[in-house]
Amino acid sequence: MMDSLLLILMLVAVLGIGSQWLAWKFQLPAIVVMSIAGLLVGPVFGLMNPEEAFGDMYRPFISIAVAIILFEGSLNLNFKEVKGLGKPVFRIVTWGAFIAWILGSVAAHFVAGMSWAVAFVIGGIFIVTGPTVILPLLRQSKLKPKPAKILKWEGIIVDPFGALVAIFAFEFILFLSADGRDATSLFLFLLAALFAVVLGYIFGKVVAWMFESGHVPEFLKSPAVFVAVIACFILADEVKHETGLLAVTAMGMTMANLGISSIKDMRHFKENISILLISTVFILLTSSLTTETLMDVFRPEIIGFVLLMLFVVRPLSVFLSTVNSGLNLREKTLVGWIAPRGIVALTVASYFASILADEGFDGASLITPLTFALVFSTVVVHGFSIGWLAKKLNLSAEGNPGVLIVGSNRFSNALVKVMQELDIPSVVVDSSWDRLQRARKAGIPHNHCEILSEQTEYTMNFTPYDYLLASTEYDAYNALVCSTFLPEFGRKNVFRLPNQSHSGDQINDIDHTIGGREVFSPMEGIEELKYKMKSGYVMRKTSLTDQYRYKDYLEDRHEETILLFILKQSKQITFFTNDVEISASPGDTIVSMTPPSKEFNKIKEKLEEQRNEKG
């Protein structure tokens, strides 16, 4: 076993981020990969035991990590955005969560053999699905907008509240149990909980005021929030243990609803920190499991509890809470099946396992194996079945990668049209009804919205689209759109048209990391493309075969042909850029803008052939 703490820290970080990368590379649930990695270096091969190595620092580190993860989740709870989510979402996150809590607690008591105190705490934690697990599944499965919206917002809204339900359940159970506590102890807890909420609100207001009034420079904003979250958590927790999580949740919700101009940048920073913490914490927790705890996972009562949660508790809570909500049977079936528990459930459960064990409650020792069994089972089962079930229920959007094009004009409309002919999910987005008029008349998929507005995230379904192309007349705006969506789409999947030399923007000298990858060069940007479309250029699709290869096409094409993209046989899309050398194989389709002269020649050749046949 490793003795060096630095070596253990290095291994934990490498395994955590490496697992995330492998999960992304091979389209696997990240938790499954992290679980396997943590178990291999921990109880299986005994290379390390972080709980022993960290000693007294282990629990505080886990607690702070949970606080930051919950704060990041609560930053998404903007009440203005939640209001318009519709009846099904509201029902599931209120009545559905309550039913799931009660049924889960009953199952934990009667099936898993836990005391009522432990059962109600663990039942509250298990209402959490969480965006860290559900959002990657939605991106992979490409559900239709309605079920995708329900699952997404259930995870976002319920995520911060599972821990809070567990906190209040714990305190009320302590009050009701025969341990000598009286109404005074309950009153003091409620007072401490109120103090935590007020403290979180004050921290959120003060941080927001300092940011908006310019008292904190831009480069210090994200670190300042990070330190403020830790301070808010510790101060509340020092007043009354377990209320720190309530304080950071209140702080995050306060900041989310104050309309801070830099909230999106903070979200990106907190997401990055959360991913790092989630990765390391999960490796820490799984590698600290003992062989005995791991074997407890296979106990009949734990397996029975997991099966009940999968096949009874979740479906029943969804079906009961969505009566007369507008969901059909297929949608209820899908939503009632998908409920993967993730990092938040495991970390919060581990947090309470030690507290309940210290209080001497029966069944506290089962919390860790029970939680691990449920998390691992739901992630594996739901992760590998969501795509299959969605297709069976006809709730899956087309699986081909799609393209979101920003800016409606003659060129972008023609590009969307040819993509539709190739069965590529595509849409043109613009904030002007006038610019969208041509797209509407042509029956081209379009969306009227300002792509940079925060509201767009909640009114438009981004799930079908893997690529983004900014094609407006404004070079600076194109660069801004690409920079904004780099975290969502990834740098390699965000593109913009070349800068226009006579546009007046003169942004050629900006840092190469700003904006997306430039496509369709060498040329003069959107104005040249629009002019060529107006002068008779047409979109042409050329299929490559064993007899007509990519090399033949390049030799045969007109010298003024503009190469746009290649649709691979695998349905992946490769745009023509200057920074990557592109190759194509038989079965691929090349899409280009062809000069009218070549079209006229083709027509002449066909007419000549027809005359020869008749003559």
Report the mean per-residue pLDDT for the chain: 83
Q: Are residues 349 and 204 in the same domain?
A: yes
CATH code for position 354: 1.20.1530
Q: Are residues 571 and 600 in the same domain?
A: yes
CA distances in angstroms from 406 to 43, 422, 469, listed in the order given:
51, 20, 6
Q: Are residues 368 and 409 in the same domain?
A: no
Domain assignment of residue 32, yes or no: no
Report pLDDT digits (tens) over 366-394. Answer: 888 899 899 889 888 988 888 889 889 98
Task: Look up tokens 């008591």; give the residue.
Answer: 109
Q: How confident is the model at residue 336 (pLDDT cuts 50, 70, 90)?
A: very high
What pLDDT score does 99 carry? 94
Report pLDDT digits (tens) over 271-316. Answer: 677 778 878 888 888 888 888 888 888 899 999 999 999 999 999 9
Domain assignment of residue 37, yes or no: no
Domain assignment of residue 46, yes or no: no
Q: Is residue 135 scored above 80 in pLDDT?
A: no
The three-state DSSP-derived secondary structure of 79-101 is HHHHHCCCHHHHHHHHHHHHHHH
Would you state the structure tokens that stand for residue 241, as one six-digit string?
């243990």
Q: Are residues 492 and 361 in the same domain?
A: no
Stronger pLDDT, 180 or 546, i.e. the higher one: 546
Say if residues 76 and 263 touch (Cβ distance below 8 Å): no
In this structure, which amino acid lies at residue 161?
A: F
Least trusted range by pLDDT, from 258-272, 300-314, 468-482: 258-272
What pLDDT score does 229 carry? 92
Please give the residue range of the domain that contains residue 554. 402-612
Q: Are residues 222 and 351 in the same domain?
A: yes
What pLDDT score does 233 carry? 93
The total of structural domains in the chain comes to 2
DSSP secondary structure letters along 224-287: HHHHHHHHHHHHHHHHSTT-HHHHHHHHHHHHHTTT-TTHHHHHHHHHHHHHHHHHHHHHHHHH
Q: Are residues 385 and 355 in the same domain?
A: yes
Q: Which of 358, 392, 426 is the last residue of a domain?
A: 392
Q: Are residues 450 and 312 in the same domain?
A: no
Task: Burial-class residue 183 by CB neighbours within 10 Å (0-12, 13-18, 19+).
Answer: exposed
Stronger pLDDT, 601 or 17, i.e. the higher one: 17
Q: Are residues 377 and 444 in the same domain?
A: no
> Which of 453, 456, 451 is closest to 468 using CA atoms?
451
Q: Which of 392, 421, 445 is the last residue of a domain?
A: 392
Q: Are residues 167 and 277 in the same domain?
A: yes
State the average pLDDT over residues 102-108: 93
Q: Are residues 415 and 387 in the same domain?
A: no
Q: Are residues 111 and 76 in the same domain?
A: yes
Domain assignment of residue 36, yes or no: no
Domain assignment of residue 102, yes or no: yes
Task: Burial-class residue 252 by CB neighbours within 10 Å (0-12, 13-18, 19+).
Answer: buried
Domain assignment of residue 23, yes or no: no
Domain assignment of residue 149, yes or no: no
Q: Are residues 372 and 427 in the same domain?
A: no
CATH code for position 465: 3.40.50.720
Q: Which of 373, 392, 411 is the last residue of a domain?
A: 392
The CB density around residue 428, as the number of other CB atoms within 10 Å, is 26
Domain assignment of residue 28, yes or no: no
